[in-house]
Amino acid sequence: MNLFLSVMTFVGYLMASVLYVGALYEGRRERWGRYGVLAGWAAQTIFLITDAITTHGLPVATLYDWMSFFVWLMISLFLVIQLRRNYTHIGSFLVPIVFLLWLVSQFLAHHNKGTALSATGAWLGLHIVLATASYAAFLFAAVFGIMYTEKERELKNKRVRLFYYQLPPLDEMDEVGSHLVMLGVPLLAVALVLGAYVAKSVSGYYWTWTAKEIWSLVIWLVYAGYLTLRWVAGWRGHRAAVYVMLAFLLVIINFWGINTLFPGAGYF
């Protein structure tokens, strides 16, 4: 059953990725891409529910589980945005990235499945959910940054193609990206505080200067720095878009680089 659901998830997200990219040049493919997303999301939802029932809790006990949950959350938010706002072609940039993340999670299923989080409980679960939500907001901000730079490049090169008209206006994408960072920064701040509380209950110390703790704090400082530069120095447009794209690389390093170099420190 789980194998079948994994295959359905793979096929759905792969089909959606191809069709959404194709929709940048032929708009009618977007509808079929949405069907692919829905099929993959439905299969993954059933998979996560059965996994949660089996483990009697939120299926985030390992890095593999968390990445799968993160992908599901990103697709869920994408579907909600599709219902509320006319950001159809965000899928052309977001879905391929999320599909690649899902593929990486499947690789981790065979290499990291047995490495569990070092603590349990409701506070840890809330810490994980808030951290995940903040990273989701940062990824969406990075996607809007990619969309901004691509539309800007089309305009500067005077080689406007179909998707130029399908993307939101530059000012709107810049504003939405900043709002997403404004959402993610306080969420991550609360997650860090809860993480310190959980660490206190486990090790007796709120802060132990582990690589994971330091890197998570660095991520928060970098995104807080973005807001400071935006409000104080007036950063807008191209500089802000590039900033949020590069900043998300820190999140990627956090989960692949830090967890590989410093195993056993926990994922959040």
DSSP string, 248-268: HHHHHIIIIIIHHHSTTS---
* Contact in structure between 130 and 195 (CB atoms under 8 Å): no
Buried b (16+ CB within 10 A) or exposed e, 124-158: bbbbbbbbbbbbbbbbbbbbbbbbbbbbbebeeee
* Contact in structure between 222 and 260 (CB atoms under 8 Å): no
Instruction: Work out the average pLDDT over 127-142.
Output: 89
Enter the pTM of the model.
Answer: 0.82
Instruction: Work out the average pLDDT over 62-85.
Output: 82
In this predicted model, what pLDDT tens digit does every residue of 20-34 receive, in sequence order? 888 877 767 778 888
Question: What is the C-alpha radius of gyration for the chain, rounded to an integer number of angstroms?
Answer: 19
Can you say how many angstroms the Cα of residue 218 is from the centroid of all Cα atoms in its chain? 18
In this predicted model, what pLDDT tens digit does every residue of 213-253 receive, in sequence order? 788 889 999 999 999 999 988 888 889 999 999 999 888 88
Residue spans of alpha helices (H) in 26-159: 29-55, 63-84, 91-111, 122-157
Residue 113 in this model has a pLDDT that exceeds 80: no
pLDDT band per the 50, 70, 90 thresholds, residue 117: very low
